[in-house]
Amino acid sequence: MTSAPAAGSPDRPAPGEEAAPGAVPVRLDLEGDLIALFRAICDVPSVSGDEKALADAVEAALRPYAHLEVVRDGDAVVARTNLGRQRRVVIAGHLDTVPLTDPPNLPTRVVGEGAHAEVWGRGTVDMLGGVAIQLALAAELVEPAQDVTWVFYDHEEVAANLNGLGRLMRHRPDLLAGDFAVLGEPTAAGIEGGCKGTLRVEVATTGVAAHSGRPWLGENAIHAAHEVLDRLAAYEAKEVEVDGLVFREGMSAVAISGGIAGNVVPDRCVVTVNYRFAPNLDLAGAEAHVRDLFAGFDVRVTDGAPGARPGLDAPLAKDFADTVLALTGGQPAAKQGWTDVARFSALGVPAVNFGPGDPLLAHKDDERCPVGHVTTCHAALREWLTR
Amino acid sequence: MTSAPAAGSPDRPAPGEEAAPGAVPVRLDLEGDLIALFRAICDVPSVSGDEKALADAVEAALRPYAHLEVVRDGDAVVARTNLGRQRRVVIAGHLDTVPLTDPPNLPTRVVGEGAHAEVWGRGTVDMLGGVAIQLALAAELVEPAQDVTWVFYDHEEVAANLNGLGRLMRHRPDLLAGDFAVLGEPTAAGIEGGCKGTLRVEVATTGVAAHSGRPWLGENAIHAAHEVLDRLAAYEAKEVEVDGLVFREGMSAVAISGGIAGNVVPDRCVVTVNYRFAPNLDLAGAEAHVRDLFAGFDVRVTDGAPGARPGLDAPLAKDFADTVLALTGGQPAAKQGWTDVARFSALGVPAVNFGPGDPLLAHKDDERCPVGHVTTCHAALREWLTR
C-alpha cells in the first residue's frame, strides 16, 4: 500500500502537471560518497524494460555539468567531453538488471564492515557498481587526459535486438566512436578481455507418428535423439588461446522438446544447443563446427553473435591494462561470457571489461559486491584518465 | 449460414419450448438399410464431449421398442431385454469420435461399388459401424437366445476418468452385469481378445543450473538424459503369449522436456515413457519392470490401467468365437491397443472386441470402412444371438 502524498507535498505535481503514481523523480548526488551513490542507483528498480526512472535520474544528474554534452536516446544517456584530445575512450555500462528476487532484495543492505563490507541486492554485481563509478568520474573529471564518452544504456539483459547499445549504434554511431572502450561489466576488478561468441541451433530428429499401443508401426523421434545427446554428453569442450588469453568453450543443450500426446509415438524431437566459442572462430566457423558435430541430423541456426578478440595489443588497451594492473594486481583474463565488448569489436574499437563484482554472482539471488571492488575500480579508472 | 426455419415448420419449437439454434433432432431408422443407418450415425458429428445429439437420436430411436428397457445416463444410453434367459450378454459401443479432420470429412461418402465399397469419414472405423449394427439388432431381435444389454456410451476417446462406461459402472453397475461382453471396436471383423495394459511414467534427470557461457559450473540435465534415451533406443520389446494369444509390448518415449532459457544449462529434464504391457502383468508388475529398466533414475508413475486377459476359455466366449469364425474365418488374435474390454475384465466379465473396420485406420484422416465388414459383423452377431 502506498499512502497518497499530503497536499502541498513537494513531490506532488502542480495542478495541470501529470505524474504516474509513485513516479517521484530520483536525485543522484554525483559528488558525495561513492558507495552512497552506488546504493542509491541500485535502489531504483530498473529491470529491463523499466529503466526509465533510473535513466531520468542519470540524465538529470549529468545535465548540470557544463563540461559534458548530454544526449538522451530512449532510455540511454550519453555524456561526453569535447576537449579536442588526440584520443577518445568510450566507457559504457548498462542501467538494466535482471528481474528482482521474490521477495525483492531491494533496497540494498550492507553486510560486514570496512574492507570486508559487501553491498547486497539486485544490480550490485551486474552492473550498477560500474555505473556508479562512471557517474562519479563523469562529474569529477572536467579535463580528463583523453576525451571520454560516458554511455549509460538500457535493455542489455534481454533479447539482442532490444539492446540499447545496439540501438545507439544504429541511431548515433558517431556517439560511440573512439579509440578504445571499457565496459563496466563485473570482472572482480580485474581486466577481462574479449568475449566468446554464441551460436544457438536446433538439432531435430524426425520419425513416423504412431499410436503408442502399436509403436512398431512408427519410428520414435525421441528415441532417435539419443544419438544427439550421446554426442553432447561425450563432447569435450576446447580451451583456446587467442591473443594470449585462454577462452574455455562450451557446448550445451539448453532445451529439448518432443511429444504431442501421452499415447502417440512422436515424429519430431528438437534439441536446442548453445555453442559458446572462442573468438578465433567467426559465426560461420562456429556453425561449421556444430554442423560437423551433429552430422547426419537436421541442424537449423536460430541465432548467434560473434565473439571479440581481446584486443589487448592495441596501444591504448596496453596502457590501460598497465595502469589498472599496477593498482589491482593480477593479469588480464579471458571473459568467458558474451558481453557488449563484441559490439565495439564489430565497430573496430578494441574493448575490455573492467568492473566491480564477482561475475559468478551475476543474476544470482545472493548477488553482492565488495565495497573494496568499487573503490578500487574507481581509483584505477581515475588514475588512468588523469595521468 | 443456416436459414431460419419457416414459421410453422415441424422443426420449429412450439411457443414456450426451447431449442438451441441448429439443434434439429436427428431421426434414425433402425429397420431400414443397414449401411444407410451406419452413414446416418456417422453424419451426426459426435466428437468426445459433444455426443448429445447422437445420444438423443439413439435414445429416441430405441424408446418405441416395447421389448427394450431403455435407460439414459448422461450421454450414455442402455437398452436391454428382460426375457428371463439363463445368460445375459452385454454388447457395447462408444458414440464418440476423435476430432474431425480439417476440413471435416463429413458427411460420409461411399467410394467403390458392391463388395469393394467403402464408407469414408470420421467415425466409420472407430466405431460407429459397431454402433449401427447394435442399433439394428436391438430393434430387430425381440426374442434373442440370450438376454442382451445394448450399451451406447460417451467419452471413450478422452481421459479415462471421463469414460462413459466407467461412469455407468459407478452409477448403475447392475446395468452392466452379464456373462460375456462384446465390444464393437474395430477388428476388421475378426475377434480380438483381451488387451494390453498401459503405464505412463516420468523419468527425470537432475543437474545443476548454470549460465551456458560457463557450463562447467553446472551439470546439464539434458545431457544426463542421454542414458535414458540410450536405454529406450536399445530396448527390445517382448512378445508375450497369454491364453493362447500373442501380445506385442511397447516401450515408448511419448514426451521429453527440459530447459528454461536459451542461455541456461538446465537442471531438470523429464522423459515421459508409455509402457504397453501384456496382460500377464498387473500394474505393479509393469511398474517394477519400468523401474528396473530405468534403475538409477528418478521414476514417477503418472497413470496406468491394467490390461485384460483374452478370456476366450469362458464357455460363452468359446461359443461366440466358434459361431463368428464359422462366418468370418480366421483365428482370434490379441488386441494390441487398450480398450474398454479391460473394464469388463475388471468386473469379472469375459469380453472380446469384434467390429467392422481396420483398427490401423482408426483416428486417421483417411478413416474408412468396407461395407462388407459391416454386413459380415451384423450377420455373425445376428446368427449367434438367434441360434
Residues B184 and B205 in one domain: no
3-state secondary structure of B344: helix
Q: pLDDT at residue B34 above 50?
A: yes
Choose among B174, B223, B186, B173: nearest CA to B370.
B186
- Specify whether the CB–CB gap between B52 and B120 falls below 8 A: no
pLDDT digit string (tens) for B90-109? 999 999 999 998 899 999 99
A88 touches chain B (CB under 8 A): no
The mean per-residue pLDDT over the stretch B108-114 comes to 93
Sequence-distant (≥ 6) Cβ neighbours of residue A347 within 8 angstroms: A169, A173, A176
A250 contacts B212? CB cut-off 8 A: yes
| Residue A382, Cβ density class (10 Å: 0-12 exposed, 13-18 middle, ≥19 buried) | middle
C-alpha distance from A266 to closest chain B C-alpha (Å): 6
Q: CATH number, domain at B228? A: 3.30.70.360
Give the pLDDT of residue B29: 97
C-alpha distance from A287 to closest chain B C-alpha (Å): 17
Q: pLDDT at residue A9 above 50?
A: no
Give the pLDDT of residue A23: 60
Give the pLDDT of residue A3: 33
Give the pLDDT of residue A34: 97
Residue A22: band (very low, low, confident or very high) from pLDDT cuts 50, 70, 90: low
Residue with cell 548526488: A29
Sequence-distant (≥ 6) Cβ neighbours of residue B274 within 8 angstroms: A212, A262, A263, B198, B199, B200, B250, B251, B252, B253, B254
Sequence-distant (≥ 6) Cβ neighbours of residue A277 within 8 angstroms: A196, A197, A198, A199, A249, A285, A286, A289, A307
DSSP structural state of residue A1 = -
- Specify whether the CB–CB gap between B246 and B239 falls below 8 A: yes
CA distance A210 to B296: 29
The mean per-residue pLDDT over the stretch B262-268 comes to 92
A27 part of a folded domain: no
C-alpha distance from A20 to closest chain B C-alpha (Å): 33
Residues A167 and A62 in one domain: yes
Choose among A10, A137, A229, A382: nearest CA to B266.
A229
Please say which residue of B285, B305, B325 terminates a domain: B305
Q: At what angle do helices B315-328 and B371-386 cross, to 10 degrees?
A: 140
A266 contacts B253? CB cut-off 8 A: yes
Question: Can you spell out the DSSP letters for B190-259?
Answer: S-EE-B-EEEEEEEEEE-B-EETTSGGGSB-HHHHTHHHHHHHHH----EEEETTEEEE-EEEEEEEEE-
A65 touches chain B (CB under 8 A): no
B364 touches chain A (CB under 8 A): no
pLDDT digit string (tens) for B39-91? 999 999 999 999 999 999 999 999 999 999 999 999 999 999 999 999 999 99
CA distances to A71, B281, B334, B342, B345 from B310, in Å? 82, 13, 7, 10, 9
A23 part of a folded domain: no
Q: For B304, which residue in chain A has the nearest alpha carbon?
A: A262
3-state secondary structure of A154: coil
C-alpha distance from B25 to closest chain A C-alpha (Å): 34
pLDDT digit string (tens) for B239-256? 999 988 999 999 999 999
B15 touches chain A (CB under 8 A): no
Q: Which residues of A touch B338 (CB under 8 A)?
A: 213
The three cell numbers of residue B104 are 471435416
A262 contacts B272? CB cut-off 8 A: yes
Residue with cell 596501444: A315
Residue with cell 434373442: B144
Q: For B217, which residue in chain A has the nearest alpha carbon?
A: A360
The mean per-residue pLDDT over the stretch A275-287 comes to 96
Give the pLDDT of residue A131: 98
Query: Which residues of B are catalytically annotated?
Result: 96, 156
Closest Cβ opposite residue A256 in set B254, B256, B265: B256
| Residue A331, Cβ density class (10 Å: 0-12 exposed, 13-18 middle, ≥19 buried) | exposed
* Active-site residue (options: A51, A126, A156, A367): A156
- Specify whether the CB–CB gap between A262 and A256 falls below 8 A: no
3-state secondary structure of B94: strand
What percent of the residues of chain B are helix, what percent strand, and what percent coil, each to the nearest 5? 30, 25, 45
Q: pLDDT at residue A271 above 90?
A: yes
B105 part of a folded domain: yes
Residues A41 and A159 in one domain: yes
The three cell numbers of residue A288 are 561449421
B265 contacts A212? CB cut-off 8 A: no
The three cell numbers of residue A27 are 536525485
A212 contacts B254? CB cut-off 8 A: yes
Amino acid letter, residue A86: Q
B29 part of a folded domain: no
B214 contacts A360? CB cut-off 8 A: yes
Residues B321 and B224 in one domain: no
Residue B2: band (very low, low, confident or very high) from pLDDT cuts 50, 70, 90: very low
Question: Can you spell out the DSSP letters for A267-280?
Answer: SEEEEEEEEEE-TT
B272 part of a folded domain: yes
| Residue A101, Cβ density class (10 Å: 0-12 exposed, 13-18 middle, ≥19 buried) | middle
pLDDT digit string (tens) for B309-362? 888 888 888 899 999 888 888 889 988 878 899 899 888 898 999 999 999 899
Question: On the CB side of B102, how many CA atoms lie within 13 Å of its CA?
Answer: 1
Q: pLDDT at residue B7 above 60?
A: no
Residues B84 and B181 in one domain: yes
| Widest CA span in chain A | 79
pLDDT digit string (tens) for B72-83? 999 999 999 999
A253 contacts B266? CB cut-off 8 A: yes
Cα angle: B364, vertex B366, B371; to 5 degrees? 110
Choose among B92, B310, B332: nearest CA to B194.
B310
B215 contacts A250? CB cut-off 8 A: yes
Q: Taking the CB of residue B17, how many other CB atoms lie within 10 A of it? A: 7
Residues B299 and B329 in one domain: no
3-class DSSP string for A181-211 = EEECCCCCCCEEECECEEEEEEEEEECECEE
Give the pLDDT of residue B23: 60
Q: Which residues of A touch B286 (CB under 8 A)?
A: none
Residue with cell 477388428: B187
Choose among B193, B186, B190: nearest CA to B330.
B190
Residues A95 and A174 in one domain: yes
Q: Which of B205, B256, B265, B275 to mutate to test the interface with A (most CBs of A within 10 A)?
A: B256
Query: Structurally, how many domains does chain B consist of?
Result: 2
Provide the number of CB pairs (under 8 Å) joining chain A to chain B.
161
Q: pLDDT at residue A119 above 90?
A: yes
pLDDT digit string (tens) for A308-329? 988 888 888 889 999 988 888 8
Average pLDDT score, chain B: 91
pLDDT digit string (tens) for A150-190? 999 999 998 888 999 999 999 999 999 999 999 999 999 99
- Specify whether the CB–CB gap between A357 and A369 falls below 8 A: yes
B68 part of a folded domain: yes
- Domain encompassing residue B368: 34-194+308-386
Residue with cell 461399388: B113
- Segment 302-341 of chain A within 8 Å of chain B by CB: 303, 336-338
Q: Which of B274, B336, B358 to mutate to test the interface with A (most CBs of A within 10 A)?
A: B274
| Widest CA span in chain B | 80
Question: Does A298 participate in catalysis according to the annotation?
Answer: no
ipTM of this complex > 0.85?
Answer: no
Q: CATH number, domain at B72? A: 3.40.630.10
The mean per-residue pLDDT over the stretch A70-86 comes to 97
Q: Taking the CB of residue A115, how many other CB atoms lie within 10 A of it? A: 9
CA distance A57 to A324: 29
CA distances to A186, A354, B148 from A359, in Å? 5, 11, 77
- Segment 245-304 of chain A within 8 Å of chain B by CB: 248, 250-259, 261-266, 269, 271-272, 274, 276, 303
Minimum mean pLDDT range among A89-98, A329-338, B218-227: A329-338
A74 part of a folded domain: yes
Residue A145: band (very low, low, confident or very high) from pLDDT cuts 50, 70, 90: very high
Question: Does A192 participate in catalysis according to the annotation?
Answer: no
Query: Cα dihedral angle (A351, A355, A361, A362), rounded to 10 degrees?
Result: -60
Closest Cβ opposite residue B216 in set A198, A217, A248: A248
Q: What is the pTM of this model?
A: 0.75
Please say which residue of B259, B283, B305 terminates a domain: B305
Choose among B277, B370, B381: nearest CA to B327.
B381
B253 contacts A257? CB cut-off 8 A: no
B226 contacts A233? CB cut-off 8 A: yes
A159 touches chain B (CB under 8 A): no
Residues B85 and B189 in one domain: yes
Residues B201 and B190 in one domain: no
A214 touches chain B (CB under 8 A): yes
CA distances to B20, B65, B368 from B41, in Å? 20, 19, 14
Q: pLDDT at residue B174 above 50?
A: yes
Residues A129 and A176 in one domain: yes
Give the pLDDT of residue A346: 85
Residues A172 and A317 in one domain: yes
DSSP structural state of residue A42 = H
Residues B230 and B346 in one domain: no
A213 contacts B276? CB cut-off 8 A: yes
B253 contacts A211? CB cut-off 8 A: no
Give the pLDDT of residue B313: 82
Choose among B211, B208, B234, B232: nearest CA to B221.
B208
For chain A, what is the radius of gyration of the CA atoms?
24
Q: Which residues of B touch A265 (CB under 8 A)?
A: 252, 254
Could you give the strand order of the β-sheet that contains A368-370, starting from the edge strand earlier in sequence? Answer: A109-111, A118-120, A368-370
Please say which residue of A305, A338, A367 terminates a domain: A305
C-alpha distance from A126 to closest chain B C-alpha (Å): 14
CA distance B142 to B79: 12
A16 part of a folded domain: no
Q: pLDDT at residue B10 above 60?
A: no
A250 contacts B216? CB cut-off 8 A: yes
